[in-house]
Amino acid sequence: MKVAMYYTNTDVRIEEQPVPTIGETELLVKVIASGICGSDVMEWYRIKKAPNVLGHEIT
């Protein structure tokens, strides 16, 4: 599957990742679009977690 991988505010790459395995009580959702959260642009906050897949603001 394709993901938006955050490295820095000026380095976000579309990368291929394996589809995650889900448990019996979990759900896998295909995301068509995603918004940007305020924390997505705060580099001082996000850089500590880099590299990190963006997209928690699904629409």
Note the pLDDT of residue 26. Answer: 94
Note the pLDDT of residue 14. Answer: 95
- What pTM, to 2 d.p., does this model score? 0.70
**β-sheet with 52-53: strand ranges across:** 11-16, 2-8, 52-53
Contact 41, 27 (CB under 8 A): no
Note the pLDDT of residue 59. Answer: 58
Note the pLDDT of residue 7. Answer: 92
pLDDT digits (tens, 9 = 90+) for 9-44: 899 999 999 999 999 999 988 888 877 777 777 787
Phi, psi of 47 (to 5 degrees): -60, -30
DSSP assignment of 19-57, as one string?
A: PPP--TT------S-B---GGGG-HHHHGGG-SEE---S
Note the pLDDT of residue 54. Answer: 80
Boundaries of every domain in the chain: 2-53
- In whole angstroms, give the CA distance from residue 56 to residue 59: 9
- Judged against a pLDDT cut of 90, whether residue 45 lies above it is answered with no
